[in-house]
Every structure is written in C-alpha cells, then in structure tokens.
Amino acid sequence: MIETSTQSPNDIANINDEPMSNDSIFDASEISFYNSIKADLNKLVMNPSDKSIIHILDFSRSI
C-alpha cells in the first residue's frame, strides 16, 4: 500500500528538524512516555571493542 502524505511541505520540514514535542503526529502521552524512557534508552548505549577500531584504522592505513 502506497502511503501519501496529507501534510504540507512546511509541516514535514518542521517534523524533520524539530524535537518530537513539536510533532503534531505525536500526542502528549506519547511524547511524555518517550521522555520517560529516554534515560533508560541511553543506558543501552554500547561501544565497539578497541580491537575493532584498531582493525579499522589498520585497514585504512594499508590501502
């Protein structure tokens, strides 16, 4: 199914660039919920191993 946007280009531009609190598509409870889990989402951030990064940099130097 092809979805078409019913919003004007200005609405879409606003949605693209501004925080979710300004997106008219999200209601207050959805924005509030997202804000409530942001800190826990941030706790899921992980990093690659130093070994991976060394491999990448070694590769770059080799070519």
| Residues that bind other proteins in the complex, under the rule CB under 8 A | 2-7, 12, 15-17, 23, 25-26, 30, 33-34, 36-41, 43-49, 52-53, 55-57, 59-61, 63
The nearest distance, CB 21 to other proteins, in angstroms, is: 13
8-state DSSP, 21? G
In the complex with other proteins, the residue whose CB is nearer, 7 or 21, is 7
CA distances to 1, 18, 47 from 13, rounded to whole Å, are 24, 8, 32
Which among 33, 30, 13, 14 is positioned nearest to 22, based on CA atoms?
14
**Residue 10 or 44 having the CB closest to other proteins:** 44
